[in-house]
Amino acid sequence: MDLVNIFIKSAFIENLALAYFLGMCSYLAVSKTVKTAFGLGLAVIFVLGITMPINWVINTWLLGENGIFATDLTFLRLILFIAVIASMVQLVEMVVEKFSPALYSSLGIFLPLITVNCAILGGSLFMVSKEYNFSESVAFGLGGGFGWFLAIIAIAAIREKIRYSNVPPALRGLGMAFILTGLMGMAFMSLMGIDPAAFK
Amino acid sequence: MAETTVVAKQESPIKFGKKERKLITDPLNDNNPITVQVLGICSALAVTTGMRNAVVMSIAVVFVCLFSNITTSILRTRIPKQVRMIVQLVIIATLVTIVELTLKAVDFESYKALSVFIGLIITNCIIMGRLEAFAMGNKPYESALDGLGNGIGYGLILIVVAFFRELFGKGSLFDYKIIGHTGEYLINTQTSWLFGWYEHNNLMVLFPSAMFVIGIVIWVHRAWNPKLVDIS
């Protein structure tokens, strides 16, 4: 039950894209059509779902004080996390290139850029700060990825529809996507509850 | 003798002609990292709550972008394709660590305010995006100009966005209080007959407003430079 809670919380209430605004670059650039957004969303679920448990193992067994080196090595956290993420993304890139060349060419530069998608690294850092255990970190990874997937599908669908609306020419495309994301973010803020500290 | 000097001049890699100037000016306008290439948005949202953070962040990104482009360009023929991302990330992470430690020594106040986001320069897509798109296929000198131009183009937007967010959200610029309702501000809205209606818009400090401000910046930029308008 606890795992289901974490999954739902990370997917909706603490949505990585719309509540924390992480992974915005690929979110805005690849959301022109639902089809490519779908592909990227699946890749993000996969990478988050895999890197989160691996990073948990690294953080607990290698870097922690109770790990095999019995010293506090947390200053290596950032570099090790990013190395795990980079190798996983490289793996995904090879698999996608092999099995779906069309998706590979439509994702273009944004497939390697999943490495620097802040949602992935940010997710791992959140996992550390929330002190999840192994199964909770799996649920958090999959839930966070699912939430990001839903967010990018939603904005892609809106952008496909808004193409038929009479938007001022200079605002078409990217400019409108920013404003739509801002509005969606405001809606998601009400799920999270507005932080009173911001109003001081 | 005269011939040899001419040849040497042509072969010299350091020249600053039209093509080189374009490498620097392109990212400022026609190919701006934030408003056209859509790279580096996350940090642009996070650090633009104040001018001071935005300026420090811009300097850090210009530095990392410049030197990571140079280093990757020098190593580009030796990096195997399969591990290129890891190599690039190690280069970036090293430079970011240099920036982090330097900032800690030089300006501890900014370091405290920015600490997490300096670390997150590693995942700033503008840097790795330029490595992938430019430095992996071009000579060091051109890559250096490209890195410099993109860093400055990124910083420019960051400072514009931070200006509006800090002025309307907190009523200050560089923490220098401009407008507000207590006496320490330059314009005191309680005593001023002209600005008595003015209140800070607290939404400007929150994330969604950064999206709105960048959206409006894109709107103005494209209205001013119509060839960027999205036809599709």
Query: One digit per residue, pLDDT tens: chain B, 232 residues?
Result: 444 444 444 455 566 777 777 777 777 777 777 777 777 787 777 788 788 888 888 888 889 888 988 888 888 888 887 777 778 888 888 888 888 888 888 888 888 777 667 777 777 778 888 888 888 888 888 888 888 888 888 888 888 888 888 888 877 777 777 777 776 667 776 676 676 677 777 778 788 888 888 888 888 888 887 777 765 5
CA–CA distance, A198 with B50 (Å, rounded to integer): 14
Better pLDDT: A190 or B214? B214
Residue of A29, A113, A171 lying closest to B128 (CB–CB): A113
Cβ–Cβ below 8 Å for A183 and B230 = no
CA–CA distance, B178 with B166 (Å, rounded to integer): 10
Size of interface A-B (CB pairs under 8 A): 134
Residue of B38, B89, B132 lying closest to A25 (CB–CB): B38
Q: Is the dihedral of CA B68, B69, B73, B76 positive or negative?
A: positive
Q: How far is CA B176 from the centre of its chain?
A: 23
- Position B183 scores a pLDDT of 64
Residue of A nearest to B228 (CA): A170
10 Å Cβ neighbour count for A148?
A: 29
List the single best residue of B207, B209, B217 to mutate versus A (max A Cβ within 10 A): B207
Distance from CA of B132 to the nearest CA of A (A): 8
A106 contact partners, CB below 8 Å, separation of at least 6: A35, A36, A39
- Position A3 scores a pLDDT of 84
- Position B8 scores a pLDDT of 46
Which residue blocks in chain A are alpha helix, DSSP H?
2-8, 24-29, 34-57, 77-99, 101-107, 118-130, 134-162, 174-192
- Position B7 scores a pLDDT of 46
- Position B6 scores a pLDDT of 47
The answer to whether B69 and B63 are in contact (CB under 8 A) is: no
- Position A146 scores a pLDDT of 92
Look up the ipTM and state it: 0.75
Give the pLDDT band (50/70/90) at residue A193.
low
The answer to whether A145 and A45 are in contact (CB under 8 A) is: yes
Say whether pLDDT at A91 is over 50. yes
Distance from CA of B223 to the nearest CA of A (A): 5
- Position A120 scores a pLDDT of 85
Give the pLDDT band (50/70/90) at residue A157.
very high
List the single best residue of A93, A116, A128 to mutate versus B (max B Cβ within 10 A): A116
Q: What residues of B are in contact with residue A179 (Cβ under 8 Å)?
A: 211-212, 215
- Taking the Cβ of residue A187 and every Cβ of chain B, the question of whether any pair is shorter than 8 Å is answered with no
Residue of B119, B124, B229 lying closest to A170 (CB–CB): B229
Distance from CA of A43 to the nearest CA of B (A): 17
Lowest mean pLDDT among A62-71, A141-150, B97-106: A62-71
- Taking the Cβ of residue B101 and every Cβ of chain A, the question of whether any pair is shorter than 8 Å is answered with no
- Position A153 scores a pLDDT of 92
Cβ–Cβ below 8 Å for A87 and B86 = yes
- Position B232 scores a pLDDT of 53
- Taking the Cβ of residue B140 and every Cβ of chain A, the question of whether any pair is shorter than 8 Å is answered with no
A residues 135..164 contacting B (CB < 8 A): 163
B residues 152..211 contacting A (CB < 8 A): 202, 205-211
Q: Residue A43 corresponds to which amino acid?
A: A
The answer to whether B146 and B134 are in contact (CB under 8 A) is: yes
Residue of A86, A171, A183 lying closest to B85 (CB–CB): A86
Tokens standing for residue A155: 């904005």
Average pLDDT for residues A93-108, to the nearest whole number? 79
- Taking the Cβ of residue A30 and every Cβ of chain B, the question of whether any pair is shorter than 8 Å is answered with no
- Position B5 scores a pLDDT of 47
Q: Is the dihedral of CA A23, A24, A29, A32 positive or negative?
A: positive
- Position A2 scores a pLDDT of 82
